[in-house]
Amino acid sequence: MDTILACQNISKKFLSGSEDIHVLHDVSLFVNAAESVSIRGESGSGKTTLLNILAGLESSDQGEVFWSGKAIRKKSLHRLSAERKRYLGMVFQSFYLIPELNALENVLFAARILGRVGASERKRAQDLLVRVGLGERLKSSPLKLSGGERQRVAVARALMNRPQVVLADEPTGNLDEATGKHIMDMLLAITREEDAGLILVTHNMEFASKTDRCCHLIKGRMES
């Protein structure tokens, strides 16, 4: 299988006053196409920091991140940003929808930042919203959608540009249990259908157990 995202020996520390706080220690991880990997850990264990490093949003002190086998450290910020928009889809605990745009326009916004909003992109956005169960809510404002519906729009937006990998940071954290379960099942199913890798940060053991592989961050160290 092709490894589409990996990191090797990632370490990261932050300065707090005069003290170094070590957040990640020698962390290695990989995900293959159409594979799902969950990362569990207590608050402060480094989960979000690791996800940000994998996305190229933060730099590590040591180690390297690879997208499709190519190291990202030496890429310019401009090139890294341009590649991220195509290569990664991201889903967060907060939905980050644009309230002035309707559901369809929010999904299309991912294509708009690449300068591509033609008929094929519009159809892709519509098809994704149908697949997440919002075919009847294309023109609805985010303000008129429930939390679960907003997260469905966010999932569709993350998939809009056919990313190689989706990074999901506690995507059900703001949802009730039943809605969260539905969103998780949908996210796992659609990423597999799209042959996209999925890295899921979650505190929920049930959700983690549904992924192909489960990892556990304990005080910044990765355990399988």
Q: Is 39 helix (H, G, I), strand (E, B) or coil?
A: strand
With a CB cutoff of 8 Å and minimum separation 6, the contacts of 93 are 169, 170, 171, 172, 173, 174
Please tell me the predicted confidence (pLDDT) of residue 111. Answer: 95
Q: How confident is the model at residue 40 (pLDDT cuts 50, 70, 90)?
A: very high
Whether the per-residue pLDDT at 68 is higher than 80: the answer is yes
Please tell me the predicted confidence (pLDDT) of residue 17. Answer: 76
Please tell me the predicted confidence (pLDDT) of residue 224. Answer: 73
Q: How confident is the model at residue 13 (pLDDT cuts 50, 70, 90)?
A: very high
Please tell me the predicted confidence (pLDDT) of residue 134. Answer: 95
Please tell me the predicted confidence (pLDDT) of residue 158. Answer: 96
At 21-34, the pLDDT tens digits run 889 999 999 999 99
At 70-114, the pLDDT tens digits run 999 989 999 999 999 999 999 998 999 999 999 999 999 999 999
Q: What is the pTM of this model?
A: 0.93
Percent of residues, the chain, with pLDDT higher than 70: 100
Q: How confident is the model at residue 1 (pLDDT cuts 50, 70, 90)?
A: low
Q: Are 196 and 34 in contact (CB under 8 A)?
A: yes
Q: What is the Rg, in whole angstroms, of the alpha carbon atoms belonging to the chain?
A: 17
Pairing of strands 197-201, 165-169: parallel
The mean pLDDT of the chain is 93
Burial 120-133 (b: 16+ CB within 10 A, else e): ebeebbbebbebbe
Write down all domains in the chain, each with its CATH number in brackets.
35-48+78-223 (3.40.50.300)
Whether the per-residue pLDDT at 221 is higher than 80: the answer is yes
Lowest-pLDDT range of 5-9, 14-18, 115-119, 178-182: 14-18
Q: Are 125 and 108 in contact (CB under 8 A)?
A: yes
Q: Is 165 helix (H, G, I), strand (E, B) or coil?
A: strand
Region 175-200: mean pLDDT is 93
Nearest to 6 by CA among 69, 87, 48: 69
Whether the per-residue pLDDT at 69 is higher than 90: the answer is yes
